[in-house]
Amino acid sequence: MRILIAEDAIVSRRLLQQCLQQWGYDVVVASNGAEAWQLFSAGDAHFPIVISDWMMPEMDGLDLIRRIRASSGSNYVYTILLTAKSEREDVVAGMEAGADDFLRKPFDREELRVRLRAGERIIQLEQTLAAQNRELRQRVEEVETFAYTASHDLQTPLRTFGSYAQLLLADYGKVLDEEGRELCEEILEDALHMKTLLDSLLEYSRIGREPTPAVEVDVKTVLDWVLHDLRPEIAETGATVQVPEGLPRVVYPEGRLTQIFGNLMSNALKFNEAGKPVVKVCCDEAAQVYRFTVQDNGIGIAPEHADRIFNIFERLHTRDTYPGTGAGLTIVKKIVEFHGGEIGVTSTPGEGSAFWFTVPKAGERPCSD
């Protein structure tokens, strides 16, 4: 394992170097913080462990460690601060700068050896975790590519099924008996349903794959569009929708925010059995996020199903009772999480549900979709 030493005192530097080399480490030495930073940031070699003196000319150990932490790429760097300072305040300052460990000067060989072992254990754990993460990310990408390709490529043969069933009905409808016609109609209906499922799957796998730029959006305007689109449902159910004043502007892909509110509002109107739906939108502001809630007085969700409903094609009712595919909330969850937010639901069966999601404030946001 490679270790970078930053130490301006020649004797201490030599001693350290000798010890580490005896124990089989690959040692690189720097005679001050600036030189160590140059070696570190050149990127020619990765240093999993850095041992740095605190007091050095040009750049001290704290500054060096702070820079290492700020630049930290994907590999963790275990840093040990070598110092004669041992007051409580010094320990706090060193750890705050990002040091993992302390070693008092003049250092004791045995203590150094066990502290290095502890560092190596942490680095090994971190490397194992990083490798597992890489593998997981690769698997997720494979599954997403599969979902995208499958849902894309299955569209064409499916269209052919539907068209042939339509042709059969149109051209041979009179030749077929009633059972034959019914079977053709069922094929047609199932082909249409399957098309809706594939469209949802394609939509799901597109999130994060095709860029949709984040812009400054007025949430009130988005809600106006959503309510405009939902006018038929609102009129049919006699619903009341309450939208508060003073909604914020957020930085988000406009279409994606419309999709989120559209889905939550449409569900709030749909899953309602008795009386007229009352749907309320709220917005709470926290330090780093806005939290939006869409609350309804509908059928509610039993607590044991609260997680399930976010899984793709998972529905709690048949299509005859409530139409839908069961993909809406999965798509909403993926959009929200892709943009650095969280989503959840609180609900009382028979009384209603409140779906909430968060949007990071501008500056806290990770990226466009």
Q: Point out which residues bind ligand ADP (CB under 6 A).
A: 263, 267-268, 271, 296, 298-301, 309, 315-317, 324-330, 353
Cα–Cα distance between 316 and 295 in angstroms, integer? 19
The CB-of-154 to ligand ADP minimum distance in angstroms stands at 20
The CB-of-356 to ligand ADP minimum distance in angstroms stands at 12
Amino acid letter for position 204: Y
Cα–Cα distance between 47 and 4 in angstroms, integer? 6
> Which residue, 325 or 358, has its beta carbon nearer to ligand ADP?
325
Q: CB under 8 Å to 24, separation ≥6 — which residues?
A: none
CA distances from 199 to 153, 206, 312 (A): 11, 10, 13
> Which residue, 244 or 349, has its beta carbon nearer to ligand ADP?
349
> Which residue, 166 or 293, has its beta carbon nearer to ligand ADP?
293
Question: How many residues does the structure list for the chain?
Answer: 369
CA distances from 365 to 210, 282, 334, 339 (A): 18, 21, 15, 7
Q: What does DSSP assign to residue 48?
A: S
Alpha carbon 102 to chain centroid, angstroms: 35
The CB-of-218 to ligand ADP minimum distance in angstroms stands at 25
The CB-of-316 to ligand ADP minimum distance in angstroms stands at 3
> Which residue, 112 or 301, has its beta carbon nearer to ligand ADP?
301
The CB-of-207 to ligand ADP minimum distance in angstroms stands at 14
* Closest chain position to ligand ADP (CB): 324
> Which residue, 82 or 299, has its beta carbon nearer to ligand ADP?
299
> Which residue, 49 or 345, has its beta carbon nearer to ligand ADP?
345
The CB-of-365 to ligand ADP minimum distance in angstroms stands at 25
Cα–Cα distance between 54 and 99 in angstroms, integer? 11
